[in-house]
Amino acid sequence: MDDGVLHIAEIPYENGTIRFRYARILSADGTRWIKHGLFSAYHPNGTLSSEGMYVNGQEHGLWTEYHSNGQMAASGHYAHGKESGHWKFWSSDGSPEEGANYPLPSA
């Protein structure tokens, strides 16, 4: 039974710090949870590792990834669970690295 309500899940590392925090909804048949909404992952030291949105179980929209020192590591978009368009990358000291281009979703 889908109650249409977002629930927040927190998955810890063995030491108790948060590894993943995300919003989820119950599938229509009530048998499984589906990621839907904001997703955040954390490095073992507690700094943000990645953040983006899920829509019905698939990454969608802008995602950012970070090195454990807090420097941005990558930024780009997902479309229905697949990398889409231009992604930018940075080394852990903040200097830019070569980007990547992924196919845009077909209409």
Tens of pLDDT, residue by residue, the chain (107 residues)? 445 677 999 999 999 999 999 999 999 899 999 999 999 999 999 999 999 999 999 999 999 999 999 999 999 999 999 999 999 999 999 999 999 999 998 76
Rounded Cα gap, residues 45 and 66, in angstroms? 12
Give helix then strand counts, H and E, for the chain. Answer: 0, 9
| Residues 6+ positions from 55 with CB-CB distance below 8 Å | 36, 61, 80
Residue with tokens 């990645």, as numbered in its chain: 50
Instruction: State residue 28 phi and psi, 5-degree precision.
Output: -55, -35
Per-residue pLDDT, 2: 46
Rounded Cα gap, residues 41 and 10, in angstroms? 10
Fold for 7-102, please state it: 2.20.110
Confidence (pTM): 0.89
Rounded Cα gap, residues 107 and 105, in angstroms? 6
